[in-house]
């Protein structure tokens, strides 16, 4: 029961009866309670000088001190203090600004022809508005609050707590920069980071309309040329609906001056989308366009241009007889497209930099993932106002690869390499929050569609993944155990680089033993190859079924020696020698193999090196993919699978992964499955991540199980 003090002092009796309950000596008890409080708080002691203490008038600063400091002290001593609900809920009011973006500044260059600067450096106009707890403040109110000498002020009919120093800082900012300009890059960082400040002032909200609103919200994929803007009529083909949307997005990114990352899943037709946008710009942009790709894809690009844009003049800058000097420049000016490789951008860097390219396209852009290499640096220095990167795996192993790609597309957008690594490559909750911001930053400039998307899945057949487990032969088990024992003995007295070298070489031996003993130098012996390798025997079983059904298969291995052995054994078993595509195959021979196989000539089997044949090729004749040995990087293996599982495939695709039971192959496969969401970072490239394991972890990983 709460009663006013005035009522208690005016009550005629010593005891009070309220709702049939008697309270004795109420006035004396009130004095005792007030005396206890007065001992702690001087302002209450001052009120005790009156005969009937009932209230005390405080100046704002006194009240602020009482509420912010004295209340907690009183409560610790058992004195009940009632406070305004709004005070306890809202506390000190936060001051900041809201940025209203009006649009591109005049002269910032956002037309299709003004491509001397990339779009992230364009200026946008803005107006600033002061906010108090997200409520707008007029200039007069801001000035009035800034003049307060107390942290407790009467504002809009209520007492609130403020930080006058912060408000004066905002007032100073508003006087200096109520309207102004900033770069689009700074605007994007303001939008992505909730804690971002502009000249030391917290930015509480950003408002924009139209195209800028879509970019800030991360919906850059919705930005496209008007719906009635046609796909070039000169394109010799028809784009699927999602490909047409991709074309419009790429064209819009070019018009705005932004570098764009087309990261569609493998097999969804990134090449034809890029050809379409290059074809559209053929009459609008001066100078040739440069396409940089792995050597294995030069022929693929030539075929795609011949198919979809035969009118475009294509020059291949490759081989020992490639042009140099004035002849090279003349060739560039007389062609619409120059095709070259990543290696040659480094070797011919000076000549490449002297050409003003209308567009630069990087196919398999993860090739520039190592920013410090000469190859990547040479690509970064190429001169063009329009850039496109293509990859089905934009973050193959580490986030810093994404930084390298964006440094090519929009230099400086994600900051320096050192600041990026410091901010985004840590661990824990903080990193997760930062990654959310990173996704917002890159979203407008990245378009990624997956085969699993509903509007794309209907264009593709079903893909079925199967794991085929194999048993080691006695010979394989003996060799495996010997290498395992030797590895543990050697690393017990090694460390650093020496230890890593021992681990890597031993892991390679173990993988080769799982493939076939012959790879380790063991003599062939009297037994046939199938009897010496449980994995090869399992491969024959699979191929017998596949060929009986009149179907075709690709067989991937990472070892050239294994590929040679497979050619030999498949010829002996089925009477026809399959093609074997690897890094040592010349370009003309490579193109011949792909063409002949796709046209149905020769063996229905095709052996490929995982690295040389894992990207860019269209081999939809096959509907089976067999990973004979594992690369232990899902992104790399999926790229290889997508040589078959892509647009144009008319059958269900079966993916077979051969795994030797009881070996490191089985346990690493289990590790990948357990950590699939993080597998690209956990597993990394090849076996290098395994060198960081402790001796005990390594022992558990490689120990041969199921053999006695």
Shared domain check, 639 and 539: yes
pLDDT at residue number 210: 74
Nearest to 484 by CA among 700, 706, 691: 700
Tokens of 315: 């020059």
The radius of gyration of the chain from alpha carbons, rounded to an integer in Å, stands at 36
Count of residues in the chain: 708
Query: Tell me: the pLDDT tens digits for 648-677?
Result: 888 878 899 999 988 999 888 887 776 554
In this structure, what CATH number is given to the domain that contains residue 375?
3.40.50.10810
Answer yes or no: is 708 within a domain: no
β-pair type (95-104, 123-132):
antiparallel
Taking phi over 0 as left and psi of -120 to 50 as alpha, with beta for the rest, 65 belongs to: alpha
Same domain assignment for residues 191 and 241: no
Of 158-162, 418-422, 522-526, 595-599, the poorest mean pLDDT is in 522-526
Q: Let me know whether 42 and 119 are in one domain.
A: no
Indicate whether 61 and 118 sit together in one domain. Answer: no
Q: Is the pLDDT of residue 160 over 70?
A: yes
Look at residue 114 in the predicted model and tell me its pLDDT: 42
Residue-wise DSSP of 57-122: ---HHHHHHIIIIIHHHHHHTT------HHHHHH-BPPEEEEEEEEEEPTTS--STT--SS-GGG-
pLDDT at residue 521 is higher than 90: no
φ/ψ (deg, to 5) at 608: -135, 145
Closest CA to 634 of 650, 617, 610: 610
d(CA 184, CA 488): 56
Neighbours of 177 (CB within 10 A): 17
Q: What is the pTM of this model?
A: 0.67
132 CB contacts (<8 Å, ≥6 apart)? 93, 94, 95, 145, 162
Ramachandran assignment for 412, one of left (phi > 0), alpha (psi -120 to 50 degrees), beta (any other)? left
Burial class (CB in 10 A: 0-12, 13-18, 19+), 335: middle
Number of domains in the chain: 4
pLDDT averaged over every residue in the chain: 82
pLDDT the model gives residue 396: 47
Q: Is residue 52 part of a domain?
A: yes
Asked whether residue 65 falls in the same domain as residue 94, the answer is no
Compute CA 482 distance to the chain's CA centroid, rounded to the nearest angstrom. Answer: 42
CATH number for the domain including 692? 3.40.50.300
Question: How far, in Å, CA of 122 to CA of 120, rounded?
Answer: 6
Note whether residue 235 is domain-resident: yes
**pLDDT greater than 70 at residue 224:** no
- Judged by average pLDDT, the poorest of 86-100, 195-209, 303-317 is 86-100
Point out the domain boundary residue: 175, 201, 216: 216
DSSP designation for 155: E
Does residue 625 contact residue 596 with C-beta atoms inside 8 Å?
no
Q: Is 48 within a domain?
A: yes
- Do 521 and 439 share a structural domain? no
402-to-97, 150, 346, 399, 447 alpha-carbon distances in Å: 32, 50, 21, 5, 14
**Which among 542, 540, 522 is positioned nearest to 531, based on CA atoms?**
540
Task: Please tell me whether residues 42 and 142 are part of one structural domain.
Answer: no
pLDDT at 86 over 70: no
- Residue 571 has a CB neighbour count (10 Å cut-off) of 13
Instruction: Clarify whether residues 416 and 480 are in a common domain.
Output: no
- Give pLDDT tens digits for 420-470: 888 887 776 667 778 888 888 888 899 988 877 887 877 766 788 888 888
549 and 675 in a common domain:
yes
Sign of CA dihedral 601, 567, 469, 545: positive
Residue 122 lies in a domain: yes
Decide which of 430, 457, 484 is a domain's last residue: 457
Q: Which domain holds residue 161?
A: 90-216
Q: Are residues 182 and 237 in the same domain?
A: no
Mean pLDDT of 17-38: 78
Q: What is the pLDDT, as a whole number, of residue 288?
A: 95
Q: Cα(573)–Cα(596) distance, rounded to whole angstroms?
A: 22
> Does 190 share its domain with 108?
yes
Tell me which of 427, 457, 487 is where a domain ends: 457
In a domain, 286, yes or no: yes
User: What's the rounded mean pLDDT across residues 271-293?
Assistant: 90
- Mark whether 202 and 247 lie in a shared domain: no
Whether 707 maps to a domain, the answer reads no
Q: Where are the alpha helices (DSSP H) in 217-323?
A: 241-256, 270-280, 298-308
């Amino acid at each position: 029961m709460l009663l006013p003090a005035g009522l208690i002092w005016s009550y005629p009796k010593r005891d009070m009866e309220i709702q049939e309950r008697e309270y004795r000596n109420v006035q004396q008890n009130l004095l005792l309670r007030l005396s206890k409080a007065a001992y702690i708080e001087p302002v209450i002691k001052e009120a005790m000088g009156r005969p009937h203490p009932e209230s005390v008038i405080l100046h704002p600063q006194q009240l602020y001190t009482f509420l912010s400091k004295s209340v907690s002290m009183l409560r610790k001593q058992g004195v009940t203090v009632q406070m305004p609900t709004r005070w306890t809920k809202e506390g000190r009011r936060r001051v900041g600004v809201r940025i209203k973006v009006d649009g591109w500044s005049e002269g910032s260059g956002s037309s299709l022809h003004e491509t001397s600067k990339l779009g992230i450096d364009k200026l946008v106009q803005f107006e600033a508005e002061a906010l108090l707890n997200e409520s707008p403040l007029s200039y007069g109110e801001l000035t009035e609050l800034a003049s307060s000498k107390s942290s407790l002020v009467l504002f809009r009919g209520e007492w609130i707590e403020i930080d006058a120093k912060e408000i004066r800082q905002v007032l100073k900012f508003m006087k200096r920069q109520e309207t102004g300009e900033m770069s689009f890059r700074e605007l994007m960082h303001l939008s992505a980071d909730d804690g971002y400040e502009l000249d030391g002032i917290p930015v509480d909200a950003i408002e924009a309309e139209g195209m800028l609103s879509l970019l800030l919200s991360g919906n850059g994929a919705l930005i496209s040329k008007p719906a009635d803007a046609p796909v070039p009529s000169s394109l010799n083909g028809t784009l699927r609906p999602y490909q047409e949307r991709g074309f419009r997005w790429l064209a819009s990114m070019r018009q705005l001056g932004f570098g764009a990352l087309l990261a569609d899943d493998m097999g969804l037709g990134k090449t034809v989308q890029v050809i379409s946008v290059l074809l559209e710009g053929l009459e609008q942009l001066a100078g040739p366009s440069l396409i940089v790709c792995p050597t294995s894809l030069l022929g693929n690009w030539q075929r795609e241009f011949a198919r979809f844009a035969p009118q475009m003049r294509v020059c291949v800058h490759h081989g020992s007889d490639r042009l140099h000097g004035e002849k090279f420049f003349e060739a560039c000016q007389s062609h619409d497209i120059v095709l070259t490789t990543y290696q040659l951008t480094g070797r011919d860097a000076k000549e490449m930099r002297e050409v003003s390219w209308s567009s630069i396209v990087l196919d398999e852009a993860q090739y520039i993932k190592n920013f410090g290499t000469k190859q990547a640096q040479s690509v970064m220095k190429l001169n063009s106002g329009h850039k496109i990167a293509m990859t089905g795996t934009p973050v193959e192993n580490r986030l810093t690869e994404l930084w390298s790609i964006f440094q090519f597309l929009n230099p400086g957008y994600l900051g320096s390499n050192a600041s990026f690594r410091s901010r985004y490559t840590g661990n824990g909750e903080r990193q997760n929050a930062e990654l959310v911001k990173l996704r917002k930053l890159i979203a407008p400039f990245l378009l990624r569609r997956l085969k699993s998307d509903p509007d794309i899945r209907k264009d593709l057949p079903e893909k079925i993944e199967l794991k085929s487990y194999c048993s080691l032969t006695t010979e394989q088990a003996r060799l495996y155990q010997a290498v395992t024992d030797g590895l543990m003995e050697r690393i017990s007295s090694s460390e650093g680089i020496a230890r890593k070298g021992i681990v890597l070489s031993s892991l390679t031996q173990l993988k080769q033993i799982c493939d076939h003993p012959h790879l380790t130098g063991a003599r062939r012996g009297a037994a046939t190859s199938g009897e010496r390798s449980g994995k090869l025997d399992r491969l024959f079983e699979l191929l017998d079924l596949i060929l009986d059904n009149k179907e075709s298969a690709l067989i991937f291995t990472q070892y050239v020696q294994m590929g040679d052995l497979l050619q030999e054994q498949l010829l002996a078993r089925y009477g026809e020698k399959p093609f074997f595509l690897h890094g040592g195959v010349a370009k003309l021979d490579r193109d011949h193999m792909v063409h002949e196989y796709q046209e149905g000539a020769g063996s229905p089997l095709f052996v490929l090196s995982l690295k040389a044949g894992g990207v860019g090729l269209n081999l939809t004749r096959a509907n089976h993919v067999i990973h004979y040995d594992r690369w232990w990087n899902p992104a790399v293996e999926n790229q290889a699978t997508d040589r078959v599982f892509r647009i144009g495939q008319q059958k269900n695709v079966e993916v077979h992964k051969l795994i030797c039971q009881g070996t490191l192959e089985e346990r690493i496969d289990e590790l990948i499955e357990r950590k699939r969401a993080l597998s690209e970072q956990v597993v990394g490239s090849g076996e290098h991540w395994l060198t960081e394991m402790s001796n005990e972890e390594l022992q558990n990983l490689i120990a041969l199980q199921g053999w006695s």
